Structure formats: structure tokens, C-alpha cells
Amino acid sequence: MQFIETRGNDGQKPVSVSFSEAILSPSASFGGLYVPKSLPSLDQAYLESHLESHYKTLAIDFLEKFGIDIDREVLKEALKRYDAFDDPSNPVPLTQVEEDCFVSELYHGPTRAFKDMALQPFGYVLSRLAQEKNENYLIMAATSGDTGPATLETFKNQKNVKVACLYPDGGTSDVQRLQMVTEDGENLKVIGVKGNFDDTQNTLKELLASEDFKAELKAHNIKLSAANSVNFGRIIFQIIYHIHSYLELVRKKAITMGEKIYLVVPSGNFGNALGAYYAKKAGLPIEKILISSNINNILTDWINKGEYDLTIRTLVQTESPAMDILKSSNVERIMYDKFGPERTKELMDELASNGKYKLTDDEVAAIQEDFSASFSDDAECENVIGVYANKGYIMDPHTATCMKAYQTLREKPLKTVVYSTAEWTKFSPAVSKALGKEVKGDIAALKEVSESANVNVPDMINALFDKPIKHTVVVDKENIKGEMLSFL
């Protein structure tokens, strides 16, 4: 399988690259991204063949069907990372919350968020590639709260890899911050940034594309890569759990093979939704992908009106911080697939120069073939959390945004899978408030929710509050580069 570029080729980079090349060096021509030249078929025969498959069996077959240039034994070792999840036999449980609605719980890994599903195996694969090539890599990650902990966890003490993780100071939950600043691996550097997630992500993209920065790294015999969903190594693992969700519905006899379903995806950087889109395009029977956002609802405007306008928006901090994003990287991959590289480059250049772009009516219609969108504010999410708590199910604020989409966007009475991207423990003050008791601090909130809702707090969350703080640096975005070079 070869990978090509969303904005076309600049004549300097290869016209196409292998999977391993795309994940080791994820920055494409003109600042674009890599996308697969084609997708494997997920037809009914393929789905039937995996009806009784373990998650890891499905995953390795899908990866090999994709034709990636990674040795089977390396993939098998990478997928063993799922053995450390809560239930190794089923790392992604599907829980029914309504007669026609099921929650895919993607958060049962070591950092209690969906990023573990992709980053646990991805980290192993990238480290092995670096060792095989006898090369050293700096992995950069910008996080709105979940990518950072998952990246640090997967690369901790891995050979031939160092990690610099950027997070917006004050823009994550306390648990998310502690998961990062208490990490003690010698190959890890965590940097707080004065600003929001878009500031950290913009800096990451600029450094990935900077020839000067790469030259400085080269002097240290270090190459540059990324763990954000700009890296297709993340996306390929995120396609798999959408297939798994469908098969789980068939196994539960909630649907028959071939019956279409809705997927509801809470979206910030759009990587999770992109994985669903690729699964749909490859043949998974999905009626539509329903996108839910918080009050930073730029994706809603993009899908419903074809408008992407940063000039009229200021990022708002919410109780669902992983979606406090205005520049959603993976929207570009959708536009490439719909409109081609020339138009994608034109739109992305317009966004860079003018802070906005507008799709044509035909282009909006093309997006709406696959997507619908809605958004919820914090008050709506708190109400949803309270409603489902009374039914015996505790969800986090990101998952709560999905229920409005489930209730209002479906045009057909089809079974629906909602993706829960984080465990409630990462956002316990918001959950406690939704349950009727506002408390200060995560420790008190975790105790309150645990006792009032009779749910357990995992040991890895409780242990965070006793760990020593290892990373205390907070800098202006202009000083990120210097801080990274100092670390190296």
C-alpha cells in the first residue's frame, strides 16, 4: 500500500511513500498530510469471516489486508499491548443504554481514554522501525488532554525514541495534567504552553515542516515524527474499532449482517471520525456518521453550512476539553477524498492566509452524504450525564455530547453506536456537578461520584495524586523550540 499527499506533490518529496515512511515522516508536501492510495474492502464476506474473531485477530488481518510494510511478528507484538486493558478478551466493550443505542467504551486502556486504542500498538511499531533503521527519533505530540498521556505511556523508556509533549497550561483536566507531569521516563519531556490547544498544535505543525528545525535535529543525529492524528499510524488503528463495533452488534443479535447503523462520534481533531469515514468508504454498512461537538462547534458549521471561519471565533474552555479545538487537522483528509489535492490545497491555503474558507453548495452536499452534526453546551451535557446516571450508567462530558446527536440527527430508526472516548474519572468535577454536588478538586469529586453512583475509581487514577511532579516547565509558544533543543 502506498500513501499520497493531500495537497499534491511539491517535486521535492517522493510522489508516494510506504506506510513506514509515512509514519516516520508524517509531514507531506506544502504542509499537507499522507492518505492511503486505496482502501481494502470490508464487504459482507470479510465481516462474516470475522464474526467470531478476537479483537487482535481482526486487527492483524485488517492491517495485513491494508498491505502495510510492517512484519507480521512486529504487528503481533504491538497488538499484545491490548492484553494490559481491563479485559484482554474484549478491550472495547459495547454497552446498551437504550433499546437502539449502544456505547462503545474505548477507554479501558492504561490512560483511560480512546487514544490508547491507537497509540499503544503504534508506539511499539514506531520504536521497532527506528531500531531496525538504527535511527533516533523525536516524537512530538500536542494534546488537548488525552493524546499526551497516551503518547507518553506508550513511548516510555522505548529505545531510539524521545518524546516532547505539549499541553495547553490550564486547558486540561487535573487528572489529564497529572498523567503527563508525573511521568518519569528518561526519554520524556512534558512542556506546558501558555495558550490553547490550537497554539500547541500550530507550533507542532510548524516545527514538523521546518527545515531549520530538522537541520538542528540532524546535528544531534535525530529525526522528527509526530504522535498526533496528523500521523496515519494513529488513524489506521482507529479504523479497526469501528469494524469491531459493527461485529459486536451482530454478535449481540441487535442487527443482522448487512444491516446499516449510525455512528455518533464526539469530535475535536476529527481523527476518530476519519477512521469511521474510511470504514464506511471501505464497505462497512454505516448509514451516516453523526458528529457531536461542544460549544467550540466549528465542525458543525463546516458540515451543516460549509463554512470554516476562524476569524469570528475564540476558543472557549469547556467541561469537555479534548474537543476545545478550532483547527481540526483531519478535516483536510476528508476534503482531499471528496475534492482532490488541488482544491484541498486551495482551501487550506485560504484558511492559512485569511483564517476562513467557504465550500460550494455541491461540496457541502458531498460532505453531507456521510456526515451530519450537532453540538451541546456544558449545561446540556450535565443534564445528559444526570439522566443516564439515574439509569445506572455514568458517562463523561465528551460522551454526553453524543446523545443530542443520537436524539435529533437520525433520519431512520436504525441501531446506533455512540463512541465513549474517555472514562468519567478524567473529568470527575464536571460529572459530580451533573449528579447534583459541586465540589472543588478532582480528589473530592472522584470520591463523591464513586460513592454516590457506586462506581469504582481505577488504581492508576487514584495513584496519580501520590506521584511526584517530574515536569514543571511552562513556556510561551515562541520558546517551545528552544525548550525541545535543550531537552535533546
Element at 215 (helix H, strand E)? helix 211-219
Cell 433499546 found at:
99
Per the annotation, the verdict on 223 as an active-site residue is no
Using DSSP, state whether 418 is helix, strand or coil.
strand
How far is residue 182 CA from its own chain's centroid?
A: 22
Judged by phi (left if over 0) then psi (alpha if -120 to 50, else beta), residue 195 lies in left
| Beta strand extents in 63-194 (DSSP E only) | 94-98, 101-105, 137-142, 161-168, 188-194
Element at 476 (helix H, strand E)? strand 474-476
359 burial (CB, 10 Å; 0-12 / 13-18 / 19+) is: buried
Judged by phi (left if over 0) then psi (alpha if -120 to 50, else beta), residue 11 lies in left
Backbone angles phi, psi at 303, to 5 degrees: -75, -45
- DSSP alpha helix (H) spans, 133-196: 147-155, 174-181
Active-site position among 37, 65, 80, 115: 115
By annotation, the residues acting in catalysis are 115
